[in-house]
Structure 1
Amino acid sequence: MPSGRMDSLAAVLAAIRGSHGMTQPLISQQLELGRSVVAARIAELESAGLVARAGVGPSTGGRAPRQLRLRAEAGRVVGVDIGATGMEIGVADLSGRVLESVEEPVDIADGPEVIMARVEQLVDGLLAGAVEGRSVWGIGVGVPGPVEFATGLPVSPPIMPGWDGYPIRDRLSRRYDAPTWVDNDVNLLALGELRTNSTIGDAQDLLYVKIGTGIGAGLVSGGRLHRGTNGCAGDIGHIAVPEAENVICRCGNAGCLEAVAGGAALAREGRRLAESGGSRVLTEILAAKGTLTTADVTVAAGRGDAAARALLARAGRLVGTALATLVSFYNPALVVLGGGVVSAGDHVLAAIREAVYRRSLPLATRTLRIEPTSLGEAGLAGAVHLVLDELFTPRLLAQWLPFSTPAGHPDLPSAGERSAA
């Protein structure tokens, strides 16, 4: 039960955000707060422009209660999801509903100056076409590498040359005069899955595993992202595996899972098969294109090529064996699989499932579900909800509520860290 004023205020706001048709009696019942306290908190939220009346709810005897809604139109949130080979940028309302978005290819190796300049161009274009008078309340950014969440700085990202220590948060917060948060892209995929995928049911402990150009995991515990002390929890792509002991990874170490089961590894091995004549289909593709990608390996497997199928199955087995350790250790209710390699279908998925169920403890897998994502890429949704989740915490709500908006307060993330210390 919330104790302090700001805790109860945030809890009332969360109840209204999380349900259509919420009423004051329902809030009192759910939060176990007195009617007068709830009434006072609702009045405060209405005064700040965050909550509005929305008709009346069903009567249980006596006067019908008034329904409440979040004023989602009061502000805008910008989401930026940068991957190794593509990015998606969008503008959303305060409910997390994406109003407009744009996607385009990108090469993360082009470096931060090139890519961030393009991000700003796209954001400017989206904001110019949005409804006038709606200020930017916050910006969420995902990048494909380790991020120190407290500072928003990438730290030695293996596939992001030139990005180490680059001030993404400071650059965007200054340009748009809005608080900005930066996180690893897989954390945002996990958050997007948690907040927007209705098929996951009541699973509050889950792993989101992305197998694409790189391999990473997002951990959700008790309905909240678990980032670890410095923000790098879930970086499973650099777990050591015996099959990779002689393979150099892009991180500089030898023997990483990503070096033998990630998208780059599949493309490399696919080319080797093509050049050695071990795969007729891949040889044909290489001859026609002059190069091979992970998608080409998937195409070859779909055309019945035994060598390509074996390559994908091996990658699935290696990932599944690593996941089995995490499943026994963490005991999640759900493992969600995403990324380009998973789109290869049953060749990878079946191998992952078989390895996890064979290698994990029986109790850890008794009710475990292992499923491919049904959302596609949920990174943009995760970037948006990263901002909303942070803005509406009690510690940050206390910082900006007196102004009725977090717009114009770019230092909120660091202020929140100080208040939490």
Structure 2
Amino acid sequence: MTTAGLAADQLDTLVTVLDLVRFGDARTRPELARRLALGRTVVTQRLAQLVDCGLVVEGALGPSTGGRAPRELRFRAEAGALLVAEVGATSLAVGLGDLSGRLGDQRAQQWDVAAGPERTLARIETLFDELLAANPPRALWGIGVGVPGPVEFSSGRPVAPPIMPGWDGFDVRDRLAARYDASVWVDNEVNTMALGELRAGLGRGTSDLLYVKIGTGIGAGLVSGGRLHRGAQGCAGDIGHIAMTGTVPGATERVCRCGNVGCLEALAGGAALAAEALDAARSGRSPTLAARWRETGAVDAADVVRAAENGDQVAVEMLQRAGRLVGETLASLVNFFNPSLVLLGGRIGGSGDLLLAAVRQAVYRRSLPLATRDLRIVRSDLGDRAGLMGAGFMVLDELFSRERLGRWIQAGSPAGRPELTTDVRRSY
């Protein structure tokens, strides 16, 4: 069986050689030969293919191990460019990256995802154009987008996203692919955040982790065996809509934006905190929130976090309750999935120690001792950068996968080939 003129075994070794070089695990030809247990001829042939398409170059002489010093190999991250975007419930950000996943120029602004796909994508395109105009021209190899709702990964289309009115079934991929003549991948933003943490954050070197975003909504990205787990259709990790009706008094009275009642998000998400904050401000139970409401005419979850940090007891109790509910939900996931790391992110999840402490307490109290023996629960260190970075790694994972690399390597570049995003059938 062959793919784009390459035999299956040739493609296997080509992908392995590329990964060893681009991740820095092998820096010379002798190192490649040792790692792969292959002859010098095979290594030379695979490197020649990668050199021919501009992905690898040989640089300065490396240290000698007794014979002639070998030349060091370098992955040419500058060979192509990536455009990435992250759409949140109340903001959006874009960036321009290279083939290592490193981000350069970036833009961010407040934005309401409820503005709909046409206006939102038009704004992203404007920002993309600004990035391309402001930076030296490079071939565009791909585009990655994260959105705040369930996405069918194979098609790149949001499916019934609760906080994204008008986005259901919208073909984000085709819209951007036609505009930029590039391959486009779209995923839930929590998945891209988890991927960003796995490759460039506290998750590096971790095989099994949970990334939990607590913001307007609540979601989780799952990494198992060092790989992002999306599930059969792409909606794995949507913990915000786990029902709490059997464990939380009054949960049946809280209607979630998904249409059900008693969801975790409806009880502990940013919108729930904002509603509770408004009630506390109007009633005067929270002096800090009441002052904020009189000053601006509104309060939100960020105001709760600030009030709690300033010692407002009502705000402290609100954050602790939200953290306890999230922690009790995570305890079940920790027992089931047994991760070694739980990362908290998002505007609320990445806030101060109060919520983190409440989450930890609930998880450690409700999980099995073996599941928590070596478990770390910490805040993300990438913050707002995780989603954008992860969107870039998503594109690179797809472009350099065995299935897709075989479809473009002999052309020298995937630039100008949006058809690469079509589903690949693994038949070899």
After TM superposition, the score normalised by the length of structure 2 is 0.95
> Which of 242, 250, 254 is equivalent to 1:247?
254
1:159 aligns with 2:167: no
What pairs with 1:306-317 in structure 2 (closer than 5 Å)?
Answer: 306-317=313-324
Counterpart residue identity of residue 153, structure 1: R
Residues 362-388 of structure 1: per-residue CA shift (max 9 Å, x gap): 111111111101111211101111111
1:202 aligns with 2:205: yes
What pairs with 1:71-110 in structure 2 (closer than 5 Å)?
Answer: 71-110=76-115
Structure 2 equivalent of residue 60 of structure 1: 65
Contact 2:11 2:402 in 1 (8 A): yes
Counterpart residue identity of residue 389, structure 1: D
CA shift, 1:201, in A, is 4.8
CA shift, 1:93, in A, is 1.1
**What's the secondary structure of 2:83's corresponding residue?**
strand
Residues 81-135 of structure 1: per-residue CA shift (max 9 Å, x gap): 1111111111111111112111111100000111111111110111112212x11
Contact 1:210 1:339 in 2 (8 A): yes
Structure 2 equivalent of residue 212 of structure 1: 215
Structure 2 equivalent of residue 409 of structure 1: 417
Structure 1 equivalent of residue 197 of structure 2: 193
Distance 2:110 2:118 in 1: 16
Unaligned runs of 5+ in 1: none
Q: CA RMSD in A?
A: 1.5
What pairs with 1:21-420 in structure 2 (closer than 5 Å)?
Answer: 22-132=27-137, 134-197=138-201, 199-242=202-245, 243=248, 244-377=251-384, 378-414=386-422, 416-419=423-426
**What's the secondary structure of 1:245's corresponding residue?**
helix
Distance 1:380 1:121 in 2: 17
Distance 1:216 1:342 in 2: 11
Distance 2:131 2:20 in 1: 30
Q: How many percent of aligned residue pairs carry the same amino acid?
A: 56
Counterpart residue identity of residue 147, structure 2: V
Distance 2:292 2:262 in 1: 29
Counterpart residue identity of residue 389, structure 2: A
Distance 1:72 1:343 in 2: 31
Contact 1:205 1:334 in 2 (8 A): yes
Residues 195-220 of structure 1: per-residue CA shift (max 9 Å, x gap): 112x4452111110000000000001
Distance 1:31 1:246 in 2: 60
Contact 1:20 1:69 in 2 (8 A): no
Distance 1:269 1:113 in 2: 33
Distance 1:39 1:369 in 2: 44
Residues 142-171 of structure 1: per-residue CA shift (max 9 Å, x gap): 000000000000000000000000000001
Distance 1:42 1:245 in 2: 61
CA shift, 1:418, in A, is 3.6
Contact 1:211 1:337 in 2 (8 A): yes
After TM superposition, the score normalised by the length of structure 1 is 0.96
**Stretch moving more, 307-316 or 85-94:** 85-94
Structure 1 equivalent of residue 3 of structure 2: none
**What's the secondary structure of 1:4's corresponding residue?**
helix
Counterpart residue identity of residue 233, structure 1: A
Distance 1:154 1:269 in 2: 30
CA shift, 1:31, in A, is 2.9
**What's the secondary structure of 2:371's corresponding residue?**
coil
Distance 1:287 1:139 in 2: 44
Distance 2:349 2:426 in 1: 41
Contact 1:277 1:283 in 2 (8 A): yes
Distance 2:300 2:387 in 1: 23
CA shift, 1:284, in A, is 1.3
Counterpart residue identity of residue 34, structure 1: G
Unaligned runs of 5+ in 2: 1-6
Counterpart residue identity of residue 237, structure 1: G
Aligned length: 417
Contact 1:21 1:69 in 2 (8 A): no
CA shift, 1:66, in A, is 1.2
Distance 2:108 2:133 in 1: 17
Distance 1:226 1:343, change over 3 A: closer
Contact 1:320 1:353 in 2 (8 A): yes
Distance 1:147 1:420 in 2: 25
Distance 1:288 1:317, change over 3 A: same
Contact 2:20 2:26 in 1 (8 A): no
